[in-house]
Structure 1
Amino acid sequence: MKIAFFELRKDEEEILKRLEKEYDVEIIKTEKILTKETFDIAGGCEGISILGHSKLERNLLDRIKESGIKYISTRIIGYNHIDIDYAKKIGLKICNADYAPNGVADFTIMLMLLAIRNYKPAMWRQNVNDYSLNGLIGRELRNLTVGIIGTGKIGGTVIKSLAGFQCKILANSEYESDEIKKYAQYVDIETLYRESDIISLHLPLTDESYHMINEGSINKMKDGVILINAARGELMDIQALIKGIENQKIGALGLDVIENENGIYHMDRKSDIIQNRDMAYLRQFPNVVLTQHMAFYTDSATESMVRCGVEGLVEFKKNGTYRCEIA
């Protein structure tokens, strides 16, 4: 089987070499994003694999289908960069990746701790030999109420880990879990907004969840609420976040993802003029921690993502289905 790997990262190369032998496949590798202009790289391939920067909309999906390619894998969990409904309609098979939730869960709790312990201004002060304590007093997790929205694999793992900090945990999810009920109390979203000191999102991006954190929902929260997002940037309205920080309704933000991050995160832009005023403005606040969409980025997760990228295509051809199939 011949496969085209788009958006190849350096950390994926050694893993791919092993998988080529293990699955007896030929892999064409490129760092380029899959577009109409780069599509010819996939000539003669039966499957293609992408990351999140390749936007598979109708016209490109049509071209993929017309070329004879039947199988697509995206090496990330989210798939809002693909028109899944249209892909199903024209008969393309698509799978996403799967990896253990621990890396993202650990990172989420780290963001909480950075926020409540004022790590960012403390780090700034050290860089100029200012070792004073004034203004850096923090809080302890055991004295706080943490609200978790979404109790799937990642949200559930966050809850179980948080239980060790002895904090009160509230949860809200479309589907309730008896296992999670051992550690958290399920409540309606209004109660979670009203009673939580920290709120963390663990949801996929859908039409319903888009901008669920907005000016209206923020106004329902406690004064000084801390918001954490290591899921998808578009779950939060960046304009509402800025307003909340400015008027001090929001006490702190810990964001691994941000709205309109495409074209910036996972790229070296240090010599560029970046045209994203909202991001530049938001990141200068002392109580806002931004990281570059890296909560997932561990050795074991990367191994699993690349494996799913190859294995899914091979399984589609061999058996017509795959455990991570989404279309």
Structure 2
Amino acid sequence: MKIIAYNVLPFEEEHFLNAKQSYNLEQLTTIDQPLTMENVNLAKGFDAVNVLAHSQINAEILNTLHDFGIKHLSTRTIGYDHINVETAHSLGISISNAHYPPYNVAEFTVMIMLMLIRKIKVSICRALVNDFSLDGLQGKELRSMTVGIIGTGKIGQSVIEILSGFGCKILAYNKTPISHVETYAEYVDLDTLLKQSDIISLHIPLTEENHHLINKETIKKMKKNVLLINTSRGGLINSEDLIDGLESEWIGGAGLDTLEEETGISHFDIGTRIINKRPLFYLKQFPNVIFTQHYAFFTEEATNAMVRSGLEGLMLGLEGKENPYLIV
């Protein structure tokens, strides 16, 4: 069984080495660059391919892999919007994603909520220049707020469970309500959640249907001074409409671990390069916006799980066994 993994980052290398030994793989080759048409030929002679989200797997790449006889591709991410799944399906290439426990993103999400309501960004910036004044730093207590969770999959459920310990009112929206979630949260329709929530947190995958779910129309339905949290997918929010909401002070703040404009930015040191990502750089300058480099997932436990599940999805596919990671 021969597997090639692209875009392997330094912090993943040890996990790949351990996985190769524990799975007794015949060959596991790692490449530090994303998969592109310029390096796709490196996959020739392998049985399966593993990638990260920096690899934009388009129809051209998939056709080339198909020509090489490769029928199994996996991503070391939960999201798979960087892969043209329709083309993969038409070519008979199976696509698997990664699974990891939801606690990393859930804990990060609640942390960002607390940082926003206590205005930590402003406090830290002031302290760096020896300004220890309290003006403008008065915050709120989470227990007195209503938090709306859009999406109650594994991560959304974990966020709700953590929040339940703070004593806040929790509203939830999901296409299909999940019974045990109702122990902690009240399911409502989307409009009700938008209108009643002091904090709104997104925990849904990015699809054509919910692309720019947060836009000028949905923002109008929200409470004044609402706080928005996105640790899911950048494309869920229209950045320009978010900027308008912040400038008009209708939106009270935002915690953004991901943005639509992050491609080529997140996970890279861009140094002094000129980057045409105006919404991203404008958003991060707001005192009431916390922007992080798409690393809510980034724990030792999650990294190991991402590597192993990415490889397991390929191995199960090659062995013709039931594959819980299978998307296509």
Report deviation, 1:320: 4.3
Alignment-derived partner of residue 19 in structure 1: 19
Report deviation, 1:22: 1.6
- Aligned pairs (5 A) from 1:181-220: 181-220=182-221
- Aligned pairs (5 A) from 1:86-125: 86-125=87-126
- Aligned pairs (5 A) from 1:1-327: 1-25=1-25, 26-327=27-328
Distance 1:165 1:247 in 2: 30
Distance 1:60 1:143 in 2: 51
Q: Is residue 261–residue 279 contact of structure 2 (8 Å, CA) maintained in 1?
A: no
Unaligned 5+ residue runs, structure 2? none
Q: Is residue 238–residue 278 contact of structure 1 (8 Å, CA) maintained in 2?
A: yes
TM-score scaled by structure 2? 0.98
Distance 1:132 1:153 in 2: 41
Q: For 2:261, what is the secondary structure of its paired residue?
A: coil
Distance 2:280 2:111 in 1: 21
Report deviation, 1:274: 2.1
Q: For 1:199, what is the secondary structure of its paired residue?
A: strand
The alignment yields a C-alpha RMSD, in angstroms, of 0.8
Q: Is residue 28–residue 42 contact of structure 1 (8 Å, CA) maintained in 2?
A: no
Of residues 269-278 and 283-292 in structure 1, the stretch that sits farther from structure 2 once superposed is: 269-278
Identity over aligned residues, as a percent? Answer: 46
Distance 1:324 1:40 in 2: 26
Distance 1:186 1:309 in 2: 33
Q: For 1:27, what is the secondary structure of its paired residue?
A: strand
Instruction: Output the amino acid matched with 2:72.
Output: Y
Instruction: Output the amino acid matched with 1:14.
Output: E
Q: Deviations over 1:253-276 (max 9, x none)?
A: 001001110100011112322221
Instruction: Output the amino acid matched with 1:295.
Output: A
Instruction: Output the amino acid matched with 2:127.
Output: Q
Report deviation, 1:319: 2.3
Instruction: Output the amino acid matched with 1:6.
Output: Y
Report deviation, 1:81: 0.7
Q: Would you identify which runs of 4 or more consecutive aligned residues in structure 1 move more than 2 Å? A: none
Instruction: Output the amino acid matched with 1:51.
Output: L
Report deviation, 1:321: 3.8
Q: Deviations over 1:13-67 (max 9, x none)?
A: 1111111112222111111111111111112111110000111111111111011
Distance 2:281 2:135 in 1: 26
Instruction: Output the amino acid matched with 1:23.
Output: Y
Q: For 1:272, what is the secondary structure of its paired residue?
A: coil
Q: Is residue 43–residue 65 contact of structure 2 (8 Å, CA) maintained in 1?
A: no
Unaligned 5+ residue runs, structure 1? none
Instruction: Output the amino acid matched with 2:68.
Output: S
Instruction: Output the amino acid matched with 1:133.
Output: L
Q: Is residue 35–residue 56 contact of structure 2 (8 Å, CA) maintained in 1?
A: yes
Q: For 2:60, what is the secondary structure of its paired residue?
A: helix
Q: Deviations over 1:227-249 (max 9, x none)?
A: 00000000000000100000000
Number of residue pairs the alignment of both structures matches: 327
Distance 2:318 2:11 in 1: 26
Alpha carbons of structure 1 residues 73 and 53: separation in structure 2 relative to 1, 3 Å: same
Distance 1:156 1:22 in 2: 32
Instruction: Output the amino acid matched with 1:104.
Output: V
TM-score scaled by structure 1? 0.99
Distance 2:294 2:226 in 1: 22
